[in-house]
Amino acid sequence: MNSTSSKSADPSVAAGATVRSPHAPLKGKRILVAKPGLDGHDIGAKVIALALRDAGASVIYTGLRKSPEYIARIAVDEDVDAVGLSILSGSHNELVARTVELLADQGAGAIPVFVGGSIPADDRAAFLKAGIRGVFTSDMPLDDVIDAVAKVLG
């Protein structure tokens, strides 16, 4: 590459990846990313998990097809600062409500819960009204998601 080239030598930049500022806004935060229900699509959850990690968070990813009971238990056992639920299956209302209920039953009702995936606009509004701290869809820039999570977690 010659000195007049405007291309970056960093391969992640050359590939079009988002590069966050060096001050990791989620440094020291522990975030659980979970895939409740029977949904078998996890690319979005993995992208979010990597973005959270790149922003400084310690991320625990549960893998596919976990029950709300499992997710709540892992959140408590891992002493997380937030739970992110990724749902594409259409059963988001039931899965989110059950996970939040179980967190509360285990004394962890104060853990902020975020939801992402294929969530219809009407359900997004209902989630926010019910205390879900953020609802994210695939059309949102990753920087906006990270900024929203960082704002809630302070």
Segment 59-69, tens digit of pLDDT: 999 999 999 99
Q: Provide the sign of the torsion angle of the four alpha carbons 121, 94, 63, 148, taken in this order.
A: positive
Q: Is residue 56 part of a domain?
A: yes
Alpha-carbon distance of 103 to 131, in angstroms, equals 13
Segment 12-33, tens digit of pLDDT: 344 444 554 556 999 999 999 9
* Residue 138: CB atoms within 10 Å: 11
Q: Is residue 13 part of a domain?
A: no
* Residue 75: CB atoms within 10 Å: 26
DSSP string, 49-95: HHHHHHTT-EEEE--SSB-HHHHHHHHHHTT-SEEEEEE-SS-HHHH
pLDDT confidence tier of residue 1, bands split at 50, 70 and 90: very low
Number of structural domains in the chain: 1
Alpha-carbon distance of 118 to 134, in angstroms, equals 14
Q: Is residue 6 part of a domain?
A: no
Q: What is the CATH number of the domain that holds 84?
A: 3.40.50.280
Q: Provide the whole-model pTM.
A: 0.84
Tokens coding 47: 């992208």
H/E stretch holding 113 reads strand 113-117
**Domain encompassing residue 85:** 25-153
